[in-house]
């Protein structure tokens, strides 16, 4: 089976950009913390960002297969 490199869809790019803007806005709205033991990026932000990247990657990989499956189903219904 040939694998063709595909560009990310506009929906996945829009999702990642809006998520990034949400993270930036949420970080700016928080009051400054004086805790010197705290890292630059809290753990929940990192987990959320990694989850979003994982979803976008799976979406990019699965979209062609799902659209082919849908098109095959529609062609069988039309017969």
Using an 8 Å Cβ cutoff, are 27 and 75 in contact? no
3-class DSSP assignment, residue 48:
helix
pLDDT value at residue 36: 61
pLDDT value at residue 38: 59
What does the pLDDT look like over 20-66, one tens digit per residue? 777 777 777 666 666 566 556 677 888 888 999 999 999 889 998 98
What does the pLDDT look like over 7-16, one tens digit per residue? 667 777 777 7
pLDDT value at residue 47: 87
Q: pTM of the entire structure?
A: 0.39
Q: What is the DSSP string of 15-30?
A: HHHHHHHHHHHHHHHS
pLDDT value at residue 34: 63
């Amino acid at each position: 089976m040939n694998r063709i490199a595909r560009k990310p869809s506009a929906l996945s790019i829009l999702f990642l950009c809006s998520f990034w803007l949400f993270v930036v806005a949420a970080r700016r709205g928080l009051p400054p913390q004086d805790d010197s033991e705290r890292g630059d990026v809290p753990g929940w932000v990192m987990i959320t960002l990694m989850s979003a990247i994982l979803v976008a990657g799976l979406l990019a990989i699965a979209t062609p297969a799902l659209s082919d499956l849908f098109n095959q189903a529609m062609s069988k219904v039309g017969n």
